């Protein structure tokens, strides 16, 4: 007998998940448009003075907020690191997008081979691939830095892209191989009878059927690269190539920084990921959860 789901519990747990994931985003947005004198004053309402976009104007134009132009104002609360947010945001978007594309170009064919074909060393190579993320990042920083320094890629976006691609590639191969393995074998047997090569079977059959899975995996690779900090900090150079995670860490370490300015930087930093999720949600995630690939 099939058990009925309780809609109240479903909405309750969905609401808790939404509060946990969306609450910090809403709080950072509110904190970015409310001046510090109101934000830190328990006797005043948050929107008594209306919303204020002076911190956004400072981040993008360098114009100081009016509150810090008055005599005796604490100028230390305005950090120059916030001015690097727009440039670092573009850097992180370029790096994460490039890492995502490379992950799909390299990971999807590799996952297809691991899932559908047998070849010498398959088990050991797949085991090595999926266990490689278990190596602590700290243990890899020095050898990777020395390797990239030897080829002149330290302080360049290309160096960070290559490292981020290598870091996300095991997850890409593992996740996509599961979906490729679930596809009916009859489809590929029919393709072989029609004289399709392995590459044609991959591009004409596997990829179209797995597009939702590929899209979701690409989103994962993008997010992993966009939020990565350790290698970005070590391998990035000056402000021209610095990713947003490094800039935000520098901004957060300033104990005197304005809370409103800090929240502005946080909200600006998460906007690209919000836009990306909104753009591909219907295409990738809904189809993926709906079980577009059935074995």
Per-residue confidence at 207, pLDDT binned at 50, 70, 90?
confident
Q: Is residue 133, in this structure, part of any structural domain at all?
A: yes
Looking at the predicted structure, is the pLDDT value of residue 265 above 70?
Answer: yes
The pTM score is: 0.81
Whole-angstrom CA distances from 43 to 48, 49, 260, 270 are 11, 13, 18, 30
Task: Give the structural domain span for 119.
Answer: 82-289
Full 3-state SS string of the chain: CCCCCCHHHHHHHHHHHHHHHHHHHHHHHHHHHCCHHHHCCCCCCCCCCCCCCHHHHHHHHCCCCHHHCCCCCCHHHCCHHHHHHHHHHHHHHHHHHHHHHHHHHHHHHHHHHHHHCCCCCHHHHHHHHHHHHHCCHHHHHHHHHHHHHHCCCCCCHHHHHHHHHHHHHHHHHHHHHHHHHHCCHHHHHHHHHCCCCHHHHHHHHHHHHCHHHHHHHHHHHHHHHHHCCHHHHHHCCCCCCCCHHHHHHHHHHCCCCCHHHHHHHHHHHHHHHHHHHHHHHHHHHHHHHCCCCCC
Domain count of the fold of the chain: 1
Q: Is residue 161, in this structure, part of any structural domain at all?
A: yes
Tens of pLDDT, residues 43-58: 766 677 778 888 888 8
Residue with tokens 């479903």: 10
- The confidence score (pLDDT) of residue 293 equals 45
Q: Is residue 110, in this structure, part of any structural domain at all?
A: yes
Q: Is residue 89, in this structure, part of any structural domain at all?
A: yes
Q: Is residue 213, in this structure, part of any structural domain at all?
A: yes
Q: What is the CATH number of the domain that holds 92?
A: 1.10.3720.10
Whether the Cβ atoms of residue 279 and residue 101 lie closer than 8 Å to each other: no
Tens of pLDDT, residues 81-97: 788 888 888 999 999 99
Whether the Cβ atoms of residue 68 and residue 256 lie closer than 8 Å to each other: no
Q: Is residue 242, in this structure, part of any structural domain at all?
A: yes
Please compute the mean of the pLDDT values over residues 183-210 and round it to a whole number: 83
Q: Is residue 14, in this structure, part of any structural domain at all?
A: no
- The confidence score (pLDDT) of residue 38 equals 75
Looking at the predicted structure, is the pLDDT value of residue 294 above 60?
Answer: no
Q: Is residue 215, in this structure, part of any structural domain at all?
A: yes
Percentage of the chain modeled with pLDDT above 90? 19
């Amino acid at each position: 007998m099939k058990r009925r789901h309780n809609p109240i519990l479903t909405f309750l747990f969905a609401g808790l998940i939404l509060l946990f994931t969306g609450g910090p985003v809403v709080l950072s947005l509110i904190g970015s448009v409310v001046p510090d004198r109101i934000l830190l004053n328990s006797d005043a309402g948050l929107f008594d003075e209306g919303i204020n976009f002076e911190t956004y104007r400072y981040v993008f134009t360098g114009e100081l907020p009016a509150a810090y132009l008055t005599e005796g104002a604490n100028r230390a609360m305005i950090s120059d690191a916030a001015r690097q947010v727009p440039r670092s945001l573009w850097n992180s978007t370029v790096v994460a997008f490039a890492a995502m594309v490379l992950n799909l170009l390299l990971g999807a064919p590799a996952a297809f081979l691991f899932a559908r074909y047998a070849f010498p060393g398959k088990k050991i190579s797949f085991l090595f691939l999926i266990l490689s993320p278990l190596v602590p990042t700290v243990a890899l920083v020095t050898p990777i830095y020395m390797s990239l320094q030897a080829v002149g890629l330290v302080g360049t976006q290309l160096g960070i892209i290559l490292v981020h691609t290598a870091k996300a590639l095991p997850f890409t191969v593992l996740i996509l191989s599961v979906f490729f393995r679930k596809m009916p074998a009859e489809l590929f047997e029919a393709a072989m009878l029609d004289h399709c090569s392995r590459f044609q079977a991959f591009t004409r059959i596997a990829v179209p059927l797995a597009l939702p899975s590929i899209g979701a995996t690409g989103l994962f690779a993008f997010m992993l690269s966009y939020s990565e900090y350790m290698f970005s900090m070590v391998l990035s150079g000056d402000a021209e190539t610095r990713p947003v995670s490094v800039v935000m860490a520098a901004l957060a370490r300033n104990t005197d920084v304005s809370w409103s300015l800090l929240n502005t930087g946080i909200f600006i930093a998460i906007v690209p990921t919000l836009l990306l999720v909104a753009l591909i949600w219907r295409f990738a995630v809904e189809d993926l959860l709906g079980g577009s690939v059935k074995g």
